[in-house]
Structure 1
Amino acid sequence: MPTDSSAAPDATMEAIGRAVAEGRTGDTASARRTLLDLWSQTGVSGDALHRCSLAHYLADLHPDPAEALAWDVRALDAADAVTGQRAREHHAGLRIAGFYPSLHLNLADDYRRLGSFEAAARHIEAARAHAPGLSDDAYGDLVRGAVEEVAGAIARRDRAPRASAPGAAV
């Protein structure tokens, strides 16, 4: 979920961005602690954009698909509560519709890794149905490619982690 060109400063989103960057440099334990602290501060009824972003990135920091699934479900639930206005307050060009392909992709991948191929197939179809909401850029191409990669793995009943998955090196 891109977070550049903010329409208004948001200290929580900036802290999330720093933690994600830290995790991508290899310090996943520290990134996870920071994001969990932010989750605690936000609370289960806090800002839906914060909850969606936190849960989405926390899922990436859990190599266990069951733990990732719990966070990915939270991310999807929070996305349903993000209004278009709230998304634009964070970034003028941000559209909540662009979140859904990635969120459903992640759920499909979690279910696939757990061997629940029917649930995985439902979420990969949801990711495909929401794909028109993706931007026509490198991020959109990345998600569209990953959808097809996971769809192929579901068809093969392959439960192996994807090397291209976020947090794969965790």
Structure 2
Amino acid sequence: MEQQEASEDAVMTRIGQAAMLLHGGDREEARNRFGQLWTEIGEAGDPLHRCTLAHYMADTQDDPGDELAWDLRALTAADGLNGGAPGDARGEEDGKGEESHGSEENRGSGESGENDGGGESDGGEARPVRAADVSPAVRSFYPSLHLNLAADYVKLERPEAARLHLDRARDAADALGDDGYGDGVRAGIDRLERRLRER
């Protein structure tokens, strides 16, 4: 058990180290390290690791479509922490629903931003999940994840999908704490709201 926990801690440490490279401006090296970790973790890896990794990996992408794909992976991984949760990501690629789990302003860094999110659907239907089923720690992921997806859709000129995720980000914002991270995410929601109104 201790060995497993130490191994999991090592994964999070490596994600943190790559995130420091990203925040320091070395996007290419960060992308390489995140990619290697993603390969090691695999599609069946720990959902928390996958969510965190995909969340940061999205920030290293040059193409908005690739950024969206990673944000979707992050959302799907977050849903995996609950067995299929409020942010369920199925059905948006056709513009009619949500996709599976933003500017860099939010992603887990406490900076105010508009871009988190991503995941791949496993097919099948998600079970309904009540708010009470979701741990507070996991619930706090969703505002940022949906905000990043909304920002991705703005970049891709898909305002309806952007609005859907922005509304979900705002609906989930009550899970945020009264701290720098929470304030940053709320500010990102407000900024993106203004951008959508201006359009």
Q: So what's the TM-score if we normalise by structure 2?
A: 0.68
The DSSP-based 3-state class of the residue aligned with 1:80 is: helix
Question: Partner residue of 2:180?
Answer: 138
The DSSP-based 3-state class of the residue aligned with 2:177 is: coil
Question: Partner residue of 1:109?
Answer: 151
Distance 2:63 2:189 in 1: 20
Root mean square deviation, CA, Å: 1.7
How many residue pairs match? The answer is: 142
Q: Which has the higher helix share?
A: 1
Alpha-carbon deviations, 1:79-135, whole Å to 9, x = none?
001149xxxxxxxx9700000000000000000111000000000000000000111
The one of 135, 139, 153 equivalent to 2:195 is 153
Q: Which stretches in structure 1 are left out of the alignment for 5+ residues? A: 1-7, 85-92, 158-170
The 8 Å contact of residues 53 and 74 in structure 2, kept in 1 or not, is answered as: yes
Q: CA deviation at 1:65?
A: 1.4
The 8 Å contact of residues 72 and 149 in structure 2, kept in 1 or not, is answered as: yes
Structure scoring higher RCO (CA < 8 A, sep ≥ 6) equals 1
2:181 maps to amino acid: Y
2:72 maps to amino acid: V
Q: Which stretches in structure 2 are left out of the alignment for 5+ residues? A: 84-134
Answer with 54-63 or 107-116: which moved more.
Answer: 54-63
1:74 maps to amino acid: R
Q: So what's the TM-score if we normalise by structure 1?
A: 0.80
The DSSP-based 3-state class of the residue aligned with 1:136 is: coil
The reply to whether residue 122 of structure 1 matches residue 164 of structure 2 is yes
Question: Partner residue of 1:4?
Answer: none
The DSSP-based 3-state class of the residue aligned with 1:34 is: helix
